Structure formats: structure tokens, C-alpha cells
Amino acid sequence: MAKLPVIQYPHPVLAAKAEPVTVFDDDLRRLAADMAETMYDAPGVGLAANQVGVLKRMVVIDVTEEKTGLTVFVNPEIIEKSDTLIDHEEGCLSLKGLYEHVKRPDHVRVRAQDLDGKTFELDCEGLLAICVQHETDHLDGIVFIDHLSMLKKQRAATKLRKLRREEKEREKERAHRMD
Ligand code: GNR
Ligand code: NI
């Protein structure tokens, strides 16, 4: 297993559409294991392959407190969405430090394949419903700030650049103290 670097917005791989998985082999299993390790280490509740630079339709999710609910979704598709929306504050490992409110359906039904290629369906609610939508969006090149109004998205992008600038300053300070 290996922890992978998480690609940061606005890298073009985060805006690209991932390709369907057709081969269910050990390489795919290794990628899923590495993605799970990367997600748990972050820590995060989900991770899409785009975020580690791989344009394959696969995501890993674990929304449990105890980190015992790892689920791998290969070629996930949302086949039903509730009309009722929920407003939830979202974050993303590719937009580190940024949190914004997003409205999404509060219940979804997802169809996906497991690592053996077997199809399954799952009814999702709560954080799992939000996360499944956030991750399937990544596979279509969509990040959560794309759901905001143009004005709010621009403000969020500005906020993100400021966060990055501050982080860089802190790093410079650290390096300075070292010598
Ligand atoms: O760790 C994550 N937390 C989170 C919180 C609210 C809504 C969505 C998420 S997903 C995010 C991990 C991530 O970036 N997945 O793509
Ligand atoms: Ni994300």
C-alpha cells in the first residue's frame, strides 16, 4: 500500500471526465487500496481517482466514525435522486481549507460495480448521500464550488488563493527558522 499525493484545484485533471473501468484486475485493486490509505491518512470521508491523477471511474468512501465502512464504487451511477434538498457544508481534499454550503438531493440511489465487477445498488442518505454525489461529480470533472453561483464561486476561488498564499508564507517562515 502507498499513500498518494492529492492533486490540488485548479489542476486540469480535476476538470476532466474519467473513463469507465473495463478491466477488474490486481492493478485496479492496488489503486483502490492506495486510494483508501490516502483517504484515511488525510483524513477524509471519500476520494475519487481523478484526485490522485487517474482518469478511471472509481471512488472510495467511508463515512463511519470507526473507519470500518470502506466501500469501493467502480463505474458509479446515480439512478434516483430525491426532490428534497439538503444544505450541507462541504470540503474537499483537492480544495484544502475551503468550506462552503452546497444544496443537493438528501437521498440518492447509486448503482456501481465492486472490485470483482459485480453490480450492486445502494440507497444513500445523510453524509453518505452527499459524499456519493460529491465523488461521482469528481469523475465528471466537477468540484463542489462548481455548484455555487458565479459570484460565490469567484469569492471561493479568491479565498482559496489567499489560503494557499498564507500556507506558503508559513512554510517560508519554517524554512527560515531552520537555518
Ligand atoms: O473528506 C471529505 N469531506 C466531505 C465533507 C462534506 C462533503 C463532502 C466531503 S468529501 C471530502 C473528501 C473529498 O474531497 N472527496 O472527494
Ligand atoms: Ni472532493
Q: What digits encode the pLDDT tens for the residues 1-35?
A: 899 999 999 999 999 999 999 999 999 999 999 99
| 120/151 Cα distance (integer angstroms) | 39
With a CB cutoff of 8 Å and minimum separation 6, the contacts of 167 are: 97
Q: Is 76 in the pocket of ligand 1 (CB under 6 A)?
A: no
For residue 51 the three cell numbers come to 484526485
With a CB cutoff of 8 Å and minimum separation 6, the contacts of 33 are: 1
State in Å: Cα 177 to ligand 1 middle: 34
Length of the chain: 179
| 171/173 Cα distance (integer angstroms) | 5
Q: What is the pLDDT of residues 41-78, one digit of tens each?
A: 999 999 999 999 999 999 999 999 999 999 999 999 99
Q: In this structure, which residue's CA is closest to atom 1 in ligand 1?
A: 44
Q: In this structure, which residue's CA is closest to atom 6 in ligand 1?
A: 90
State in Å: Cα 61 to ligand 1 middle: 9
Q: pTM of the predicted model, to two decimals? A: 0.97
